[in-house]
Amino acid sequence: MTPSQIIEWSTAVFIGAVEFIILWRIWTNRIDLTYLVAEDDGQASLSRFQMLFFTFVIGSILAVISLCGDKPDFPKAFPVEILGLLGISGGSYVLSKGIQFGNPQPGTGQTPASPPPGGGQAS
């Protein structure tokens, strides 16, 4: 084995061990995933789920592309479509947070923004 192969295998084994430890802690309830895709009040968040889903899908696609070719290799450049999907997903999350904080729900303790001088009426 060459030194680069030793480093590659050592890195792969280390990452695999970390993944196993994390999965084991999730399985034994030491890591709580109850609010993984939920807001602070416990309700499900579609934008958080979308971000999580797209991240796993894109990661899986890149892993398959990297490992299943004749000569396994990571793509030289990220396709624009992948970056677009991640951008749309991240943008929808930010937009939903902006809408959520711009229109507070009753009982959340958030106060609405004060109207501009003149009552916000157009002259």
Residue 108 in any domain: the answer is no
Higher pLDDT residue, 30 or 89? 30
Q: Is the pLDDT of residue 121 over 70?
A: no
For 34, 35, 51, 117, the CA distances from 44, given in Å and listed in that order, are 10, 8, 13, 37
Size of the chain in residues: 123
Q: Is the pLDDT of residue 115 over 70?
A: no
Tokens 């997903």 locate to: 89
One domain for residues 61 and 93: yes
One domain for residues 82 and 55: yes
Q: Is the pLDDT of residue 83 over 80?
A: yes
Angle at which helices 80-102 and 46-67 cross, to 10°: 170
C-alpha closest to that of 76 among 66, 67, 84, 61: 66
User: What's the CA angle centered on 10, arms 6 and 12, to 5 degrees?
Assistant: 120
d(CA 50, CA 36): 12
Identify the domain containing residue 63 by its residue range: 45-101
Beta bridge partners of 47: none
